[in-house]
């Protein structure tokens, strides 16, 4: 068991027929998608493109350095978090209809300030400079500084949660490689994936009551991205299983190599596209290509990104590197996370935990959606984005503590309610600043062994 990376990182504080290729495209796709401005174009000194994410790299480095270290390390103090100010800008994403916001132009000019000397530079200007110009000097020190600024200062955003730099910060922290937009377009041109029917059954209800999301992201955009992700995961699955599409017509087993193979191997080598979800229904440890809930998990990426290609890169890396256990057929990572919600709540607030347990209210009954979607199922969306900034900076595993924070915020109401089940059917609106402060300040209460479970539960 090693010291947790976060403790080292915080230095200071219904189904349809498969459509044709033409039907899958949006009416406005002829105009093309904007070229992806990779985060690496903003940082010429960035690390190798095809490595694991920064969060995973940091975890591996700590495991190498601390193989015999003590499990009692405590996280340092977290400074108070300032309140975010408002900022306005126009939006360009997919083919959603954008309202007329001509007044934003003057507001954007108002936000432009003169350049200050480094000694007197505003922290948020420093953060924007790191994203635009890339790190100068020590890369690791600049990454630590970027995380600190995201935690303590936050990203400049308007009242709708729109930020010019957010998607690039996320791509940097994910260590996303550069990807030609044509790679995304090629996946779209392939038409309907094996999971297309299931995707269409989910997308129309994605954040259906959220006017901000509905105004800025179209269902067509969501369908395209999820279908492209399904193709990407499907291709990776085929690559793992080998080229099982080559069938020897003279051999009823499909391949000479399988004549003497075991039943398990023959089953594994069977055609991979016989079900609509490739493992998402049957369960097991093999990654699926789509599970219910991925539509909501994908929504913030499309909302924050300036193009579908950017959202595709970030979402694909997120579900394959940071939380692959959440999108496996059995969703074993989600179930581990639910068990950890109960464990962490018992440590942080024993009285509240005991009361909920006395009412037979385990996390699996009320927190499944919050764990699976990283709190994206709870409005308002701008607050979700602020919480995600924190999770990208210090690890998506901290979402478990963010869920505990929401329960503690409701503490008095829950303790005085004879039926907390009704209250927990839907969490109250998110308060991002308060939730982040709670998660960071209560991290020290989590024992090292429980924290190791937090770090690895989504793998």
Q: Determine the Cα angle at 102 with ends 387 and 210, to 5°.
A: 35
Alpha-carbon distance values, 380 to 97, 300, 316, 427, 432 (Å)? 21, 11, 24, 11, 10
How far, in Å, CA of 300 to CA of 47, rounded? 26
Res 120: pLDDT = 57
Largest CA distance in the chain: 77
Please, where are the H alpha helices in 87-135? 104-111, 123-133
39 or 377, which is more confident?
Answer: 377
Q: Is the N-terminal amide bond of 380 cis, ω within 30° of 0? A: yes
**Mean pLDDT, to the nearest integer, of 207-223?**
95
Note the pLDDT of residue 240. Answer: 86
Mean pLDDT of the chain: 76
CA distance 176 to 305: 14
Q: Is the pLDDT of residue 52 over 60?
A: no
Q: How confident is the model at residue 56 (pLDDT cuts 50, 70, 90)?
A: low
pLDDT at position 401 is: 97
Q: What is the pLDDT of residue 8?
A: 44
Find which of 54-58, 107-111, 115-119, 310-314 is predicted with most confidence, using mean pLDDT.
Answer: 310-314
Q: Which residue has the higher pLDDT, 390 or 77?
A: 390
Q: What are all long-range contacts of 241-248, with beta carbons under 8 Å and residues at least 24 apart?
A: 241/268, 241/269, 241/272, 242/269, 244/269, 244/270, 244/271, 244/272, 245/271
Q: Which pLDDT score, from 0 to 100, does residue 66 have?
A: 54
The whole-number pLDDT of residue 125 equals 81
Q: Is the pLDDT of residue 424 over 90?
A: yes
252: CB partners within 8 A, 6+ apart:
none
Q: What is the mean pLDDT of residues 391-415?
A: 96
pLDDT grade, residue 57 (50/70/90)?
low
Q: What is the pLDDT of residue 58?
A: 61
Residue 48 is predicted with a pLDDT of: 42
Residue 90 confidence class, pLDDT cut points 50, 70, 90: very low
pLDDT, tens digit, for every residue of 3-38? 444 444 444 334 444 445 444 444 444 444 443 343
Mean pLDDT (whole number) for 80-107: 43
Residue 163 in this model has a pLDDT that exceeds 80: yes
Q: pLDDT digits over 336-346, tens only?
A: 999 999 999 99
Give yes or no for residue 210 having a pLDDT over 60: yes
* Confidence at 135, pLDDT banded by 50, 70, 90: confident
């Amino acid at each position: 068991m090693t010291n947790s990376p976060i403790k080292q990182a915080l230095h200071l504080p219904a189904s349809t027929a498969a459509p044709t290729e033409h039907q899958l495209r949006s009416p406005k796709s002829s105009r093309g998608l904007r070229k992806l401005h990779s985060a690496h174009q903003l940082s010429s000194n960035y690390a190798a493109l095809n490595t694991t994410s920064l969060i995973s790299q940091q975890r591996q480095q700590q495991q190498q350095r601390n193989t015999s270290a003590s499990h009692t390390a405590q996280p340092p103090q977290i400074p108070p978090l300032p309140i975010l100010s408002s900022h306005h800008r126009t939006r360009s994403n997919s083919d959603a209809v954008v309202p007329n916001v001509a007044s934003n132009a003057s507001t954007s000019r108002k936000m432009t300030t003169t350049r200050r000397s480094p000694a007197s530079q505003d922290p948020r200007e420093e953060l924007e400079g790191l994203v635009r110009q890339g790190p100068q000097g020590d890369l690791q020190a600049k990454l630590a500084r970027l995380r600190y600024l995201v935690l303590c200062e936050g990203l400049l955003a308007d009242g709708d949660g729109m930020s010019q730099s957010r998607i690039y910060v996320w791509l940097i922290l994910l260590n996303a490689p550069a990807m030609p937009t044509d790679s995304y377009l090629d996946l779209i041109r392939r038409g309907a994936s094996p999971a297309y029917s299931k995707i269409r059954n989910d997308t129309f209800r994605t954040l259906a009551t959220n006017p901000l999301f509905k105004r800025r992201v179209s269902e067509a955009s969501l369908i395209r991205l999820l279908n492209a992700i399904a193709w990407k995961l499907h291709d990776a699955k085929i690559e793992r299983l080998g080229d099982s599409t080559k069938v020897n017509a003279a051999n009823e087993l499909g391949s000479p190599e399988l004549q003497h193979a075991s039943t398990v191997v023959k089953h594994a080598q069977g055609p991979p596209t016989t079900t609509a979800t490739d493992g998402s229904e049957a369960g097991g440890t093999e990654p699926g290509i789509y599970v219910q809930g991925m539509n909501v998990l994908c929504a913030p990426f499309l909302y924050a990104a300036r193009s579908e290609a950017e959202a595709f890169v970030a979402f694909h890396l997120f579900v394959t590197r940071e939380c692959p256990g959440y999108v496996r057929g059995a969703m074993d990572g989600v179930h581990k996370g639910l068990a950890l919600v109960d464990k962490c709540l018992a440590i942080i607030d024993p009285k509240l935990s005991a009361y909920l347990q006395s009412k037979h209210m385990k996390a699996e009954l009320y927190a499944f959606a919050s764990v699976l979607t990283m709190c994206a199922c709870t409005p308002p969306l701008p607050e979700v984005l602020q919480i995600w900034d924190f999770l990208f900076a210090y690890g998506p595993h901290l979402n478990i503590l963010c869920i505990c924070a929401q329960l503690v915020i409701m503490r008095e109401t829950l303790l005085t309610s004879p039926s907390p089940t009704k209250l927990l059917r839907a969490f109250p609106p998110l308060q991002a600043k308060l939730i982040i402060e709670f998660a960071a300040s209560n991290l020290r209460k989590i024992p090292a062994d429980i924290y190791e479970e937090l770090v690895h539960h989504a793998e």
